[in-house]
Amino acid sequence: MCFAFDARPPDLPAELARPPIAGGAGAELLELTSADGTHFSAALAEPPEASGRAVVILPDVRGLSPFYAALAERFAEAGHHAVTFDYFGRTAGLGPRDEAFDCWPHVRQTHPDTVQADAAAALAALRERTGATAVCAVGFCFGGTQSFLASTNPALGLDGVVGFYGGLNPERWGEHSPIHRAVDMRGPVLGLYGGADEGIPPDQIEAFEQGLAAAGVDHEIVVYPGAPHSFFDRRFEEHADACGDALRRVLGFLQRGA
């Protein structure tokens, strides 16, 4: 599994934090409906005053775990409306779920098209609730791949995508590998990888970056030497330097053109 169930995202640097979310209520749990009628869970966090682009968070394989609801709150603390959502409404029903939840049978039944349909419903709820006009996607692991793929879908209206250690392997993803789909992506694209990630070797990262460059996509790929897969999702003290730099890069990305 990518991280401990009780893991929490890094705190914001003091100079970047905004006032706490009004009332201290944190992220609000929502029930949303996808285009095919599927009901699924989401969590929305709103800052007292928005100061940059809004964010749709695409979780890792565990879907809407407490980590990602807390991450939505982190983005709200930095002045960004944020929504995150679950992938498994079609096969596991509504959340929340405990640590014993076996995600893998449900992950295997997902498809990029249905993930994007659910993302579209989450984005619609975010825009309706907040009035946000500029939104970026930020994804992790499985969600990092889905974030990259979302940049190929103009209908989502994204203003940029971020992928933390998004999988690239053409044998795993086939025609949906971001390496193959780089030609269809709309930038800007920010990719963040661990140099010690055994599941995403340097040659795949290089192939992805070369594809983005050949397609003329505005992009930046950052590799943190010695950082493992899921370095941001683990107990962040283990990889504080990489986490801190990655968080600053993402927050800077969200301010571009805002």
Q: What is the pLDDT of residue 233?
A: 73
* pLDDT at residue 39 greater than cutoff 70: yes
Q: Residue 1: what pLDDT? A: 44
Residue 22 has pLDDT above 50, yes or no: no
Token pair, residue 93, equals: 């029903």
- Band of the pLDDT at 52, cuts 50, 70, 90? confident
Convert 45-58 into a string of H (helix), E (strand) and C (coil): ECCCCCCCCEEEEE
- Tokens linked to 99: 């640590």
pLDDT tier for residue 18 given thresholds of 50, 70 and 90: low
Q: What is the pLDDT of residues 149-171, one digit of tens each?
A: 999 999 999 999 999 999 999 99
Q: What is the mean pLDDT of residues 116-143?
A: 96
41: pLDDT strictly greater than 60:
yes
Please report the DSSP string for the chain in residue order: --S-TT--PPPPPTTT--SPPGGG--PEEEEEE-TTS-EEEEEEE--SS--S-EEEEE--TT-S-HHHHHHHHHHHHTT--EEEE-S-HHHH-S----TT---HHHHTT--HHHHHHHHHHHHHHHHHHH----EEEEEETHHHHHHHHHTT-GGG--S-EEEES----HHHHGGG-HHHHGGG--S-EEEEEETT-TTS-HHHHHHHHHHHHHTT--EEEEEETT--TTTTTS-GGGGHHHHHHHHHHHHHHHHTT-
Share of the chain above pLDDT 70, in %: 88
Contact 28, 45 (CB under 8 A): yes
Q: Copy the structure tokens of residue 250.
A: 């993402």
Q: What is the pLDDT of residues 184-237, one digit of tens each?
A: 999 999 999 999 999 999 999 999 999 999 999 999 999 999 999 999 875 557
Structure tokens at 75: 């983005």
pLDDT in tens, 82-103: 999 999 999 999 977 888 889 9
Give the predicted TM-score (pTM) of the model: 0.91
Whether the pLDDT of residue 251 is over 60: the answer is: yes
Task: Give the pLDDT score at 116.
Answer: 97
Q: One-letter amino acid identity for 71?
A: L
What does the pLDDT read at residue 177?
98
Q: Identify the band that residue 11 occupies on the pLDDT scale cut at 50, 70 and 90.
A: low
Q: What is the pLDDT of residue 12?
A: 64
pLDDT category at 48 given cuts 50, 70, 90 is confident
In this predicted structure, the answer to whether residue 51 has a pLDDT above a threshold of 90 is no
Q: Which domains does the chain have, with CATH numbers?
A: 28-255 (3.40.50.1820)
Please report the pLDDT score of residue 23 as a whole number: 39
